[in-house]
């Protein structure tokens, strides 16, 4: 079973929480298959300035789900060691089952969802955190070779656009088959856009979702 490289990014945890870069996520065969699905899907025009769900990738999920579930447990320990609280630690979010349960299995106590996601030309999605239902987010850049990366922000800027952020913005640079991973927390503020290129922006979105 091919695993991928995961490296914790050296950003200020007080500003951005913890983020990991993921490298060489898919095999070449998987990458060719995923890119092949893009040609069958044309995203609608931007509506509500968001992204659009493309093809589900069940065969990719079957390989990756045990890997990301195992990673969730080790990443939770990293957050605890670093003193960075995650949303699952907060009883107010209604997912207290996951406060102490870090051992996850797709279909048993969580759902792993993996699908293509398209951001059409012209979209500029505002700064936001992930919600508590998304226990873990794992995004991989897919196509084209050059596009806008995800932007990571510091401070209380939810609802603003990247152009309105006066502070330095961090990115995991766009490179095909590379991406990032984090567990939902109050510091994981990010935004995305497709305002610089005349192409659609394609990623594979993997999330572990709470079911308890």
Residue 140 lies in a domain: yes
**Model pLDDT, residue 51:** 82
The model's pTM: 0.94
CB 23 within 8 A of CB 178: yes
Residue 45 lies in a domain: no
Q: List the CATH number of the domain containing 152.
A: 2.60.120.10
Exposure string for 81-106, b = 16+ CB within 10 A, e = fewer: eeebebbbbeeebebeebeeebebeb
CB 192 within 8 A of CB 151: yes
**Model pLDDT, residue 54:** 87
Positions in the chain short of pLDDT 70: 1-2, 40-49
**Model pLDDT, residue 49:** 56
Query: DSSP alpha helices (H): ranges in the chain?
Result: 13-16, 28-38, 58-82, 97-100
Residue 11 lies in a domain: no
Residue 67 lies in a domain: yes
The tens digit of pLDDT for each residue in 161-206 reads 999 999 999 999 999 999 999 999 999 999 999 999 999 999 999 9
Closest CA to 36 of 49, 44, 45, 26: 26
Residue 43 lies in a domain: no
Residue 176 has which token pair? 């095909």
Domains: count for the chain: 1
**Model pLDDT, residue 1:** 46
- Structural domain of 163: 53-210
Residue 94 lies in a domain: yes
């Amino acid at each position: 079973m091919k695993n991928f490289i995961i490296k914790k990014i050296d950003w200020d945890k007080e500003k951005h929480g913890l983020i990991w870069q993921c490298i060489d996520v898919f095999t070449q065969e998987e990458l060719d298959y995923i890119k092949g699905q893009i040609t069958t899907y044309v995203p609608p025009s931007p509506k509500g300035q968001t992204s659009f769900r493309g093809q589900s990738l069940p065969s990719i999920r079957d390989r990756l789900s045990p890997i990301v579930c195992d990673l969730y447990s080790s990443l939770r320990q990293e957050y605890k060691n670093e003193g960075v609280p995650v949303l699952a630690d907060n009883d107010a979010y209604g997912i207290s089952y996951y406060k102490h349960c870090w051992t996850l299995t797709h279909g048993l106590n969580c759902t792993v969802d993996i699908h293509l996601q398209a951001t059409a030309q012209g979209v500029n999605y505002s700064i936001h955190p992930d919600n508590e239902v998304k226990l873990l987010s794992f995004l991989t850049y897919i196509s084209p070779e050059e596009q806008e990366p995800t932007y990571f922000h510091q401070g209380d800027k939810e609802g603003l656009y990247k152009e309105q952020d006066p502070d330095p913005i961090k990115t995991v640079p766009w490179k095909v088959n590379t991406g990032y991973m984090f567990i939902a927390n109050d510091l994981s503020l990010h935004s995305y856009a497709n305002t610089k290129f005349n192409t659609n922006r394609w990623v594979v979105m993997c999330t572990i979702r709470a079911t308890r």
